A and B are shown apart, each in its own frame.
Chain A
Amino acid sequence: MKTNLKKFIGTAVLGVALFSHSILAWAGAVSLPEVVVDEVYRVAHGSTAGARYSPDDQQYIGCSVDNPFVTCFAKDKAGKYLFCSSTDPRSLAVVKAITDFSSIDFASDPGTSSCTALIVTNDSTYLR
């Protein structure tokens, strides 16, 4: 009986020791916004990590560069898709800041699908 108790306590201590490594790894402010596409207002928002590690296998967000063309695209978990494109050199400067911990916002002109707004935020809380 005493041996069993010792074993139980040992296992519990081991469990806490191993678990505490994980706790430290996940402390701190964190926010991983998933992709939201509004087809009416033609705006999209989401974070690279939030999309990549979302539970579904639909959503993504990003931008591609084929100088001077910049294209930003997003698909949310419901399958709604939006893109915008630009040849404005300023859009290239914004897109160059994208990392694996960015949030991306863009607005697409209803007539031409050109990017009317493009915002990239790199934030410690977007780190996974």
Chain B
Amino acid sequence: MQAKLKNILGLVALGVALLTTTVPTWAGQVITGGEVSIYIGSDHSSAGGTMVGARYSADNKQYIECTTYLSTTIWVPLIQCYAQDKAGQHILCSSRDPKFQETLQAMTDSSYISFQADSKGACTDIGISHGSNLLK
């Protein structure tokens, strides 16, 4: 009888443990995927992906990043964005337009980032989106 009770308590504990690890996965709307995608064309290229999608993807290739620079001694771009997809394709754009630097100030750990580059690698557009459904 005591052994049966122990078994039941064990099963209950197991059930609770499994339930608590599963519940957060299904609460609220979550955009799955969000992995880095890259388009490379003859006159322009573009990339997009979420920070979470890239970071927690199944592969260890993809990532997306943006950098802001200041140098008082050498020429540097104001900003630069770089993305690599799971196949290893990558694109880069850079710019000295202050409006893009301001855009990058909106980056968070749950952002969706997209950018476009012309054929010379200059950024023509950078977009950053936030939403509860982009959180991990």
Contact residues of B between 37 and 83, Cβ < 8 Å to A:
49, 51-52, 54-74, 76
A90 CB–B CB distance under 8 Å: yes
Residues of A within 8 A of B98 (CB): 93
Residues of B within 8 A of A124 (CB): 49, 51-52, 54-55, 62-65
A94 CB–B CB distance under 8 Å: yes
User: Closest CB-CB distance, A102 to chain B, in whole Å?
Assistant: 9
Q: Kindly report which residue of chain A lies nearest to residue B54, judged by CB atoms.
A: A124
Which one of B54, B72, B109 contacts A99 once the chains associate, using CB atoms below 8 Å?
Answer: B109
Bound CA span A64–B58, Å: 36
B102 CB–A CB distance under 8 Å: yes
Judging by beta carbons under 8 Å apart, are A28 and B58 in contact? yes
Contact residues of A between 13 and 43, Cβ < 8 Å to B:
14, 17-18, 21, 24-25, 27-30
Q: What is the count of residue pairs linking A and B with beta-carbon distances less than 8 angstroms?
A: 109
Beyond A93-B98, A120-B68, whether A99 also contacts B108 by CB under 8 A is: yes
Beyond A14-B14, A116-B73, whether A121 also contacts B56 by CB under 8 A is: no
Judging by beta carbons under 8 Å apart, are A29 and B71 in contact? no
Beyond A99-B107, A99-B109, whether A28 also contacts B70 by CB under 8 A is: no
Which one of A30, A116, A120, A123 contacts B71 once the chains associate, using CB atoms below 8 Å?
Answer: A116
B124 CB–A CB distance under 8 Å: no
Judging by beta carbons under 8 Å apart, are B56 and A24 in contact? yes
User: Closest CB-CB distance, A78 to chain B, in whole Å?
Assistant: 27
User: Closest CB-CB distance, A10 to chain B, in whole Å?
Assistant: 9
**Contact residues of A with B, CB < 8 Å?**
14, 17-18, 21, 24-25, 27-30, 86, 88, 90-91, 93-94, 96-97, 99-101, 114-125, 127
